[in-house]
Structure 1
Amino acid sequence: MRMRRARVEGRLGPSTVVLDHTGGFEGLLLVDDDLLGVIGHSNFGTIRSTTCVYKGKWVYEVLISSQGLMQIGWCTINCRFNQEEGVGDTHNSYAYDGNRVRKWNVTTTNYGKAWAAGDIVSCLIDLDDGTLSFSLNGVSLGTAFEDLSRGPGMAYFPAISLSFKESVAFNFGSRPLRYPVAGYRPLQDPPRADLVRAQKLLGCFRAVLSVELDPVEGRLVEKESSEWQLQGQPTVLLTLAHIFHRFAPLLRKVYLVEAVLMSFLLGVVEAGTPAQVQSIVHQILDLLWLFMEDYEVHDCLKQLMMSLLRLYRFSPIVPDLSLQIHYLQLTVAILRHDKSRKFLLSNVLFDVLRSAVFFYIKCPLRVEEAGLQELIPTTWWPHRSSREGKDGKETKDETAEERLRRRAYERGCQRLKKRIEVVEELQVQILKLLLNNKDDNGGEASRYIFLTKFRKFLQENASGRGNMPLLCPPEYMVCFLHRLISALRYYWDEYKASNPHASFSEEAYIPPQVFYNGKVDYFDLQRLGGLLSHLRKTLKDDLASKANILIDPLELQAATMDDLDEDEEPDPAAAQRPMQALAIGGALPLPRPGWLSSPTLGRANRFLSTAAVSLMTPRRPLSTSEKVKVRTLSAEQRTREDIEGSHWNEGLLLGRPPEEPEQPLTENSLLEVLDGAIMMYNLSVHQQLGKMVGVSDDVNEYAMALRDTEDKLRRCPKRRKDILAELTKSQKVFSEKLDHLSRRLAWVHATVYSQEKMLDIYWLLRVCLRTIEHGDRTGPLFAFMPEFYLSVAINSYSALKNYFGPVHSMEELPGYEETLTRLAAILAKHFADTRIVGTDIRDSLMQALASYVCYPHSLRAVERIPEEQRIAMVRSLLAPYEQRPWAQTNWILVRLWRGCGFGYRYTRLPHLLKTKPEDANLPSLQKPCPSTLLQQHMADLLRQGPDVAPSFLNSVLNQLNWAFSEFIGMIQEIQQAAERLERNFVDSRQLKVCATCFDLSVSLLRVLEMTITLVPEIFLDWAQPTSEMLLRRLAQLLNQVLNRVTAERNLFDRVVTLRLPGLESVDHYPILVAVTGILVRLMVHGPASGIERATSVLLADPCFQLRSICYLLGQSEPPAPGTALPGPDQKRFSLQSYTDYISVEELAQVEQMLTHLTSASAQAAAASLPTSEEDLCPICYAHPISAVFQPCGHKSCKACINQHLMNNKDCFFCKATIVSVEDWEKAANSSATSSAA
């Protein structure tokens, strides 16, 4: 009894130390079933342990799973926390925060180092001396706090406060401490007696392995353990049976598995060759399965793999990566054992722990600890201000010293890459073992078990986006995807080698029948044509005729009604099976949510599982009597035969359309793995690739700052010692940061952006393109394809161009030009495809096409697609803008014109040249690259049909009217806010919308300029019924824009002068040159009759002011005959000031137009006759009445009624339907009556 008290002296609480889950944190934190892992689920949740200490020296460890905001340390029972204050924010609570690198006890000061995911923090308290300290990965950070309060009532609990989605796992001593500290005890005592027994039994076991019984002499002889074989000798078997009778119960305990068995196996790995390791581990596993009960082996293997995963996940990065290599070698050796592999696949790898951790290579936050300084002694960084790809300029201005540094840096990067490739190869070996389909002796092959688990893994990540414990972190997903692609292509090409009719992995795609035959579960993911149940009803005839799939109407109706119900009844068996997740290393069993408990994995698949589907083999037509009803099997039930097929059953490829070849591409199971890989990319890989570019961006920013500082140092006078000292200090800081970042960038390039990884993403792109092309050939059945195939095609190209492009040249990819053209054809065809109904995917296609036409190489790819596809694309772009997203359409047309318009050859606006661009690689900042070919298609289409041009231009004019009116309304509100005396703020969103409306107005004006340039007769040939009306509407809008923008010291002027953040693009130049371009086309170019008509319509508009035209050249009044035009140095706006943007010829055309309009307006003023107010149109009050509506008899001018009839057929006044419009002239002898009366 005295011994028991001595052992626990200084500690209060249960001997098994866990987190206190009764502390009222419900909803604020998620705690796992073993009460050692925790995930933040609120702003700042706090939890403490069940055991406290008041005397002695104690330590516990925290395994950091995410590097966000957390405060880890100790608190007393009297500390009170809330969502704002946590551990370290109150008296008698003390914390270390590695996110902000500070320590906390009411106040805060700098302390320690920054932590990263995968680190281990040791929290040490010495209550004899009253000190508290922390260690990071076994390296002491020094004493953090002294003079702790001690005495009666003062006992300290381990505690943590963490923000939303942050996760950790505690080790109070239930497992061996990774970094034990001499003199400090863990809060939970180790099982010392069991540990001694286990070590002795292990010694006996090792002794058996190292000897053998000589059958001749009957004596023991020493032998290498790797050469030992179980040969059925009774003496050996009896000895091992006695050992395992006592050893087996101990091997179920997590502490003993990690301290004894794991240590033994790792010793084998470190001492032997891979072949020897494999032999010994295989023998040991055989003995475990032979001498232990199944439930004992299951527990032992489960704890062994969990321990192995923790060791791999939370091991520090060392220069030769030896720790990671040893753990992976042991994992490979264990998984080579068939029986163990199948058990782990079925019950552990995806159910209990995150097996994706094994495929991850963490990026070191502290490069000096990872040994990168020795591996890459010389640092270098690209001298570019922006990511513009390899354009050959990078090495042109390179000095000899820089060239040597770059080459030394590249050699260091290659050394690092070779070391990382060793780890990656081991990870690929693991997946090759899991994808083995030749081990089906006595059960299902590993590949088919993997497929079931892999599909559930995808479903949890696709459907559980709001449930953090279910999600695989995106950095793991990236590595998992690349290893999976390597293993998949290995097996794909291996199958091709033995099956000549199959295809190489380079020609891989997913056959379209996979999307509609129900054999692969796509959960609730959206299809191109909408919901699956809707598609099955609306396309049942196409399924029958093209794919030989018949759906029973009665079953269909029942399934549809079932689809309306909510998933309220979870499967009891599934509910009893705990869904366990790992807090990135620590096991976190969590109750499976109800929406994941259905064995059919979601409502969409429930429909597939219940609808009876009749399938006819496509090899020959069947009679009605031969049709057989079968049910689609859920993922839980599928066997090898269900996937691969046999005899007349084609498995996954059931329901082959006539367009698809009869010979299979490869094994059907590999098709499902490929489909899952594409889904993985869509779930989180693409976003993570974009996130990792941030390291490269940081390097560029610091490199620019260093260059600026060095320039200032060169310019600084030597007498200013103070400034020189500050600049030298800044230069040192920037250099040190760049040294650190350039080594970290080398790691990122080796693990994320290497040439091999680029080829993986490129392969996925080509797979998606081929899949979309094959799906498109099936006609209406294309609607069954999941949306993510188009998304991955778009996003993977974007990743190759924007994320990999700055590191590796895209032009060097095999078949690059052909791939560009195929993607262009898909974007051109499907951005307006009626089979695609999802708003988001349609917007993505439109934005992708808009970006595609901004870059010369991709625009040329659009021009290379077949002519009929190009014409169809342009026809879709010219469809009326109403009832569809038109802004992106207009943007595409503008990009096709940019470089041809009046003063429209700029990349950046003149007034923004001195500002720093956000990213020179943005589509909007590309140099103009107009397409005369697509412009010609546009001109041909506008000339063809009588309705194409009027409907298109009517919609453009309507949208221009709306966009410019909205812009004016918003700048009035902004101006009023700016003039208020009290302090006020303009909403940044309002400024953004205002700038967008301005940009839209400019782009719509440019589309009108392009139309007038290409097809002037649409406005000027009055033999066409709508030409005059369109010209009058155009003149009206141009005059409105000119009046608003050119009035001096008016609203527009004042807002431009304010230069508000967010309104940078709002300026006189872009909108005035667009208007000028239209006017020049109308008044200068073209036939004399056209110029005369345009002039008369422009002058007839009541809003026309000659002053607005004079403003373009900096004149307030028309110049008197013989006077010179004002010089270009005039302060007011003048096109003459923009000599770099506007050519001499263009300025001459403006002057010619001004001269012409000055003369014409003088003649029109002399010839105009006064009009009675009663004779004016009651709609516009600008033109005389000239038309009467039938049958109601109301009157207006022709311009107003023609414009009204473009959008509405009802009378403007009485809403009666207008049958016809007739000319009307006032009778000379009749009294005038207001037509509105």
Structure 2
Amino acid sequence: MIFDSNQLFAHFLHIISPSDEMLEKMIPRVYWSIENIELSEDMQNKLIKNFPQDYKKSKSAYNEASEKIKKLLNQLEKLQIIFLKTLLNDNDQTDTIVSSRVLFSRRFQSFTQENMIYWRNDPMLKLPGPVLLSTFFRLLFLLCELLSEELVNVNDLKVHPNIFYLENYNFFGIERIGGTFSYLKNMYKEIIKSKLGPPFNSQNDDDIDIIVALYDFVQADVDDDVIEINSAAGLITILTRIIRNTEDRNANIHIADAVMNRILSFDHLPIDKIHVFSVLLNNIMCLYHVACHRQLIEYVAFKERLAELSIDYALVDYELKTTNENNDVLELTLKDIEKKVCLSSRHVAWLKSLIFVAANEQVLEWILMIISNTLKYCSDIEEELFRFVPDFYIDNLLGLAVLLPDYTNITQKFDDIIVGKKWLATLIAEILMKIFNDQRIIHPKSREIITQGITLYLTHPKSIVLLQEVSEKLRLRAIKSIFKPMERKIWIKTNLILMLIWYGSGFAFRYVRPPHLKNKHVSTQGALEEIVFSNMGTVRPPATVLQNDIRKFIAYDKETASNFINNSLNYLNWAFSEFISLFQEIKDINGNNSFIISSEEVNKLKMCGKSFIYTVTLLRVIEMMIHFDRNIIINQEGSLGRVFQLICQILNRINASSSTFSQILASSLPYMECVHKFTILVATTGVLLSMLEGEINKKVSEENAERPSMISSIPEITDVLISDPNFNLSSLDFIILSENENDEPFSLNFCK
């Protein structure tokens, strides 16, 4: 009844947020600060020193009020969990009736499926995100408690993979990492039969006929572009809801009964503790994927809003203290911001008492551990059946790993992997390296998430150490898969990984942010390669272990390495040509001096910025490859000349576009923040130095020293460079020119 009556079950587990007026009574004094907010150096110097000190006096009162709220909420949550524990009683079964826990797990399955459908297709019927998040946390707390009480080994907890193969537990609308459930079921049905045994190794043909007969009926009410019905379990969930709102309910109700009785009977399913716990955990993870992670991100936005308002307040307050102009306007503005920041501070206090608490952080770490254990077990043991793992396991893995580091902090950075729990971060690193480019994973989003995870591990000094501590076998397998031919979209992501591995070792490649962006706000929106290119994480040492792995691979498989660098040169030629072409068109956009940019022009700006990023990324990867072994270029006929041809073209075109670079730098065109001479010229110079490294310091023999005019005195590789028709010595002036205040002509000395 509690599931069916407008889903009162979930509402009962929810704690409604108080109104703004009530919050003001509960938290009469507020506190905020900018000390923990990441600011540029000049902003810190002028704002923190002048930030009002009066608010610090309110800190203790603010914290006391928050703590009082937390204690009251904790008492209420305990009562909700006691109620929930009654529903999950496992000792009331009889000879003919299963326990309350088993019944609950079956109803919760339908509850999760229905809410997934509504969240994706029917906003009017969906339960609100805060309600589902409360349900998620209460169930998670209780399951953690029950598993600790009833199972001996809680350190190796995982979802039993058998439930992934059962139609009764297949959510439609959820894909598997190895393809659709219907395809995988037909492909591996014999393996599944032998694995599950009776009564799962047979199915009545009449049952299948009923599903086919009902398909058209259901599809008449459901948009088949959004939902794929590939299981009886999914079919009955939506069918019962549709029939409930259909005029000819009486005419169709017997169909629902037939399916429910003949297809969805749970009587044949296991009812042991491991199975039931696995079903409940799987449903909870699905619920988190559908709604709860999104709701947590919305709550994090309250933290970000408070940080933004705090900075706005500090800026206006500083201006009011340091200028005598427009004081009346500034005072009104300051009062308006103060009202907003007070309200925002109270909202954050409520969230820090209810959502962002240490207890919630611990159970999120616990579920992350279970996700990790499940993925590791399925990957190691289940062989081809690993493909059946739902895609939300990998999605939740990275989502939680990024959310947790700053979970209870007042600010959320999203720039780190969970390294506080070393054992857990190490386990995740091992999983990511193991399933990176795993051929059993064909789901595009899952593959991209795995690549993103490895990329994030490479942006922080502690997580890099963990990634390099993964077994050599897994590291080399991951490196080998990077060098295999792949489609352009995946190639872009994997080249970013190689560039980050090379970070700290390339020519002038030790910056976290390019010099021209050092004291500027950098957007955190866009594709991963765009974000990382403008902000490469935290200052860290080079990933020498992974670099040595690449060196080993090149020595072991020169043919694959040669093919890879040839493909990289092809992509470089394409990316740079795209950039230059679009760059000239953007000059015209900038010359219009118009505040309105058309959608077509916005697309050009996006593509131009991306092409620039691809070009620099490729240059860094080529620099690394040549540095490790120049012979992969030298020993290929024509490749040496091709490399220098591209280098000369890049140097000449960049120098010829000086005025355009200056215009772009002075403008505020969107998506062009990353474009600057420094990043592309130092990367190009890095390739040049890698090629010439063996000859730069080479001593000229006495014989050649006596005949400096003879061509034989010029080293072989240098000779190929200066023999290129496009070689222009003046294109390298930026290396030796002294600093110029106007940034033109460009000089590396300007970026010290």
Distance 1:1109 1:563, change over 3 A: farther
Distance 1:1098 1:541, change over 3 A: farther
Q: Is 1:941 matched with 2:553?
A: yes
> Corresponding residue for 1:526?
175
Distance 1:1103 1:564 in 2: 71
Aligned with 2:681 (options 1072, 1079, 1091): 1072
Q: Amino acid of the residue matched to residue 631 of structure 2?
A: E
Distance 1:451 1:527, change over 3 A: same
> Corresponding residue for 1:1063?
672
- Structure with the larger RCO, 1 or 2 (CA within 8 Å, 6+ apart): 2
> Corresponding residue for 1:724?
327
Aligned 8 A contact 1:481 1:681 in 2: yes
> Corresponding residue for 1:773?
376
Distance 1:558 1:1015, change over 3 A: farther
Aligned with 1:474 (options 119, 124, 129): 129
Aligned 8 A contact 1:894 1:1006 in 2: yes
Distance 1:702 1:562, change over 3 A: closer
- 5 Å matches for 1:513-912? 513-518=162-167, 520-540=169-189, 542-543=191-192, 566-568=215-217, 590-591=245-246, 634-635=263-264, 637-639=265-267, 642-644=269-271, 666-716=273-323, 720=324, 723-776=326-379, 777-801=381-405, 803-804=407-408, 806=410, 816-882=421-487, 885-912=490-517
Distance 1:598 1:1093, change over 3 A: farther
Aligned 8 A contact 1:436 1:446 in 2: yes
> Corresponding residue for 1:434?
87
Distance 1:557 1:524, change over 3 A: farther
Shift of 1:881: 4.4
Aligned 8 A contact 1:543 1:549 in 2: no
> Corresponding residue for 1:964?
576
Distance 2:237 2:290 in 1: 25
Distance 1:387 1:1103, change over 3 A: closer
Shift of 1:1012: 1.9
- 5 Å matches for 1:999-1010? 999-1010=613-624
Q: Amino acid of the residue matched to residue 10 of structure 2?
A: A
Q: Secondary structure at the match of 2:424?
A: helix
> Corresponding residue for 1:1132?
744
Aligned with 2:11 (options 357, 371, 378): 357
Q: Amino acid of the residue matched to residue 870 of structure 1?
A: R
Shift of 1:728: 3.3
Aligned 8 A contact 1:540 1:550 in 2: no
> Corresponding residue for 1:454?
108
Q: Which structure is higher in helix share? A: 2
> Corresponding residue for 1:491?
146
Q: Amino acid of the residue matched to residue 759 of structure 1?
A: Q
Distance 1:893 1:492, change over 3 A: same
> Corresponding residue for 1:991?
605
Distance 2:319 2:488 in 1: 56
Shift of 1:1079: 1.4
| TM-score, length-scaled by structure 2 | 0.83
Aligned with 2:37 (options 385, 395, 399): 385
Q: Secondary structure at the match of 2:363?
A: helix
- 5 Å matches for 1:57-206? none
Q: Amino acid of the residue matched to residue 974 of structure 1?
A: I
Q: Amino acid of the residue matched to residue 472 of structure 2?
A: E
Aligned 8 A contact 2:73 2:353 in 1: yes
> Corresponding residue for 1:917?
522
Distance 1:560 1:947 in 2: 54
Distance 2:109 2:292 in 1: 17
Q: Is 1:1093 matched with 2:716?
A: yes
Aligned 8 A contact 2:306 2:345 in 1: yes
Distance 1:1108 1:413 in 2: 63
Q: Secondary structure at the match of 2:29?
A: coil
Q: Deviations over 1:910-950 (max 9, x none)?
A: 22234223469965341343301101111110111131211
Distance 1:364 1:965 in 2: 58
Shift of 1:447: 2.5
Shift of 1:786: 1.2
Q: Amino acid of the residue matched to residue 964 of structure 1?
A: F
Shift of 1:998: 0.4
Q: Is 1:463 matched with 2:117?
A: yes
Superposed CA RMSD: 4.0
Distance 2:352 2:493 in 1: 34
Distance 1:1061 1:814 in 2: 34
Shift of 1:495: 2.3
Q: Amino acid of the residue matched to residue 710 of structure 1?
A: D
Q: Deviations over 1:261-305 (max 9, x none)?
A: xxxxxxxxxxxxxxxxxxxxxxxxxxxxxxxxxxxxxxxxxxxxx
Shift of 1:460: 1.5
> Corresponding residue for 1:926?
537
Q: Amino acid of the residue matched to residue 821 of structure 1?
A: T
Distance 1:861 1:948 in 2: 28
Distance 1:736 1:1047 in 2: 53
Distance 1:470 1:840 in 2: 28
Mind listing any 5+ residue stretches in structure 1 that lack a counterpart?
1-343, 497-501, 581-588, 610-631, 646-665, 1115-1125, 1141-1237
> Corresponding residue for 2:153?
503
Q: Which structure is higher in strand share? A: 1
Shift of 1:1066: 1.1
Distance 1:771 1:709, change over 3 A: same
Q: Amino acid of the residue matched to residue 177 of structure 2?
A: L
Shift of 1:469: 3.4
Shift of 1:387: 9.7
Q: Amino acid of the residue matched to residue 729 of structure 2?
A: L
Q: Deviations over 1:1029-1053 (max 9, x none)?
A: 3222211111111121011556556
Distance 1:469 1:452, change over 3 A: farther
Distance 2:294 2:643 in 1: 45
| TM-score, length-scaled by structure 1 | 0.52
Distance 2:741 2:39 in 1: 37
Q: Is 1:1110 matched with 2:733?
A: yes
Aligned 8 A contact 2:110 2:237 in 1: no
Q: Amino acid of the residue matched to residue 747 of structure 1?
A: W
Distance 1:1073 1:574, change over 3 A: closer
- 5 Å matches for 1:1158-1197? none
Aligned 8 A contact 1:829 1:873 in 2: yes
Distance 1:522 1:796, change over 3 A: same
> Corresponding residue for 1:17?
none
Shift of 1:375: 4.3
Aligned 8 A contact 2:590 2:663 in 1: no
Q: Secondary structure at the match of 1:915?
A: coil
> Corresponding residue for 1:1221?
none
> Corresponding residue for 1:99?
none
Distance 1:895 1:814, change over 3 A: closer
Distance 2:143 2:54 in 1: 45
Q: Secondary structure at the match of 2:22?
A: coil
**For this pair of structures, how many residues does the alignment match?**
701
Q: Secondary structure at the match of 1:361?
A: coil
Q: Which has the larger radius of gyration?
A: 1
Aligned 8 A contact 1:995 1:1062 in 2: yes
